Amino acid sequence: MIRKMIVGLSLSAATIASGALAMEPGEDGSGDDIIVTGRVAKLYRVEETASGKMPTEPLASSQAITVLTADLIADQGARDAQDLYRNISGVSFFSYAGVTARGFRQQENFYDGLRGDPYIGFAVPQLFNIERVEFLKGPAGMLYGQSAPGGLFNYVTKKPSQTFSASARMVAGTGDRYGAQAEVTGPVNDVVSLRGGAFFEDRDLPRTFAGNRSLLLDAGATFDLGIARLTTQAWRIEQDLAANRLRGIAVDADGHFLANRRWNHNEPSDFLDLRSTALQAKLEIEPTDNLKLDIAGRRIDASEKQKYHEPITLLDKNGDGRFDAVARQYRDQYRGTKSWSFGGNAVWSAAISDGVSNRVLAGFDYSTEDATSTASQLTGRATAAMGLPCPLDFANPVYRACDPARYAMPAATTTLSETRRNGFYLLNELTLGRLVAVAGIRTDSFEDVAIAANGTRTGFKGRDETYRLGLVWRVRDDVSLFGQYATSFEPQSAAAQDPRAGGPFAPTTGDMMEGGVKTALLGGRLQSSLSVYRIKRQNLLQADPRGDPEGDGINNSVAFGEVTSKGVDVDIAADLTDNWVLTLTYAYNDTRVTKSTTPANGNITNVVAGGRFANAPRNKLGFWTRYQIPAAGLAFALGGDYVSKRISLSNQPVNPYFIFDGSITWARGPWDVRLRVDNILDKTYAASGFNDRGGHFPGEPRSAFVEVGYRF
């Protein structure tokens, strides 16, 4: 029902009471790749990033990067990743954990700089144990290997601290929402510090019968060994989603829903359950003042079970030319993933002379993933039939008319996949007065194997190189011009490498040219970034117009396509007064097919007729503003999210929307209370489009919650 909750608990309470507490890099025990420093009155400002895995002041970096601080996440009451997209120019919701980034669909997430996501399948990352969220815009292949060219998410987790803090919170809201969370961190002695946290929430979702019961346990220990520091962590995630997996709601030719926005295609007994365990360790060593080393590893063991009804065919039961029902398919599915991920970096820096310095980064990463998928499905008819899924009306849905326990399900089939990735990279940064020049290269090896239910193995292995060149000119201390060229690659899926279908195929590649200006004006109170970019994505896999020239019964594919994305991103974080802050993001994007095997451009993934990309808005605007009255302990906040017209995968219009959220917070001593209202005007809208039978994903109706917190 309501999706937003508070994270960063102790930071949130301190922020409300006195602005933002000063925090220097490393004080929170993290010391991770991208470091954010908040200061009094500069609530959402980013003082330092390590976007290239080296700590860098934003004005000295040639990369465009958005960092969402703990203060911003807490103030917005963000519960999961979907709550944050308004704060990132060029990023909008696509489906589940997937987004559209600078025109391209992006679905992969990194945690603490390592590949591997504990939220597999159709789960959305939760934010309870997240300290900050980073989004690196454009191709990030030189540092992170295989990735989409639109950008890359990196979630930085909370670490143990030598400073004691503890907090507890309770929440209650509309939709029978209730929950509680608690976390504590602090020193055992001068060497050891610990962290523990627990989060539980149960709530109804807006769709009929749908619900979300989530449990997240988080623990960690840090050992300060002098020149070395070791941090170990463990997470346990359990998520039970009732009447899921959720698709959208069918729409008419004008993009309007054919059913109430609470309509659900699932039966009450349907579900999606996630179980995930992650173990992580990181060793940091600083043998000298100018040399820093780190090595990290993570193990993830996750599974997702789901039984649900999939909309399969739209029906016009009364023959009036308007769809009024849907035939359904019942799916019984299991996904299991076991993965390992490792990475290491060495950063060497030297001051050569006055105004001249150099830094060198050398690193590696290695990851494996073994996945199992078991599935069985049964398709129903346009009319009810014994032992088959029955159709469901839009206007007057009758649930429990058919019993999944009586379905004559066919035998399940199991497929396996094995993925191996390893990469080595080298980057040099040279500073000459007000000029900063960056050059980097990476080489990757990859191997993918798909094992079909009949035991047939289809595999492919290969290598690729990616590059990054950047230049920054510090026009003044508070103004800089930047430009960069960067590349990316994505291996084709192992299933697509079948020689009978024309495989094997070389990876899809991407490259970007970007330039812009960054500022920190008015003594740093106004921080802004404007970027103009052009991204080309090449060698996309699409259907061969010749069909099956060999006559082997399998239609061929061809890697030929090219897509060009052009756009402008604007990001502003401003302290309008000591008590009034504002963040504003705007993006313009035009993504088009520039080469294809067919004039219709309809064979490239996520592209529909005319070469337009699904769920890629031309214009996107987001803002968040907060005004506090310290003497009264009050803070008032208002946010807005505008997304322009888009199209779905079936070329149906996805209408524009503009929604508003707000909150009122009161804090006194260790207590704070927040009232949050989402979709204040209760607007009915589609958050994104899917396909004709799956419909558009409806945005959530108006909802509210109250959260009470106490700091010990």
Q: What is the pLDDT of residue 33?
A: 37
Residue with tokens 């579900």: 271
Q: Is residue 4 part of a domain?
A: no
Task: Say what the pLDDT of residue 42 is.
Answer: 55
Please check whether residue 566 lies inside any domain of the structure: yes
What pLDDT score was predicted for residue 1?
37
What is the side-by-side order of every strand in the sheet holding 91-95? 91-95, 98-101, 104-106
Contact between 33 and 50 under an 8 Å Cβ cutoff? The reply is yes
CA–CA separation, 507 and 146 (whole Å): 10
Report the number of distinct structural domains present in the chain.
1
Give the pLDDT confidence score for residue 2 in this predicted structure: 33
Question: Nearest Cα to 490, choosing from 550, 553, 563?
Answer: 563
Beta-strand (E) ranges in 521-618? 526-543, 557-577, 580-595
Name the 3-class secondary structure at 133: strand
The span from the CA of 591 to the CA of 510, in Å, is: 14
Range(s) of the domain holding residue 312: 9-711
Phi, psi (degrees; rounded to nearest 5) at 430: -115, 125
Could you give the CA distance from residue 60 to residue 518 in angstroms, rounded to a whole number?
Answer: 9
pLDDT score of 18? 31
Is residue 2 one of the residues assigned to a domain?
no
| CATH at residue 617 | 2.40.170.20
In a domain, 679, yes or no: yes
Examine residue 117 and state whether it is found in any structural domain, yes or no.
yes
Do 98 and 649 meet the contact criterion of CB atoms below 8 Å apart? no
CB atoms within 10 A of CB 598: 13
With respect to residue 3, please indicate whether it lies within any of the assigned structural domains.
no
54, part of any domain? yes
Q: Which of 466, 373, 452, 360 is nearest to 421 (CA)?
A: 466
Low-confidence ranges of the chain (pLDDT < 50): 1-41
332, containing H or E segment: strand 325-353
- Whether 363 is in a domain gets the answer yes
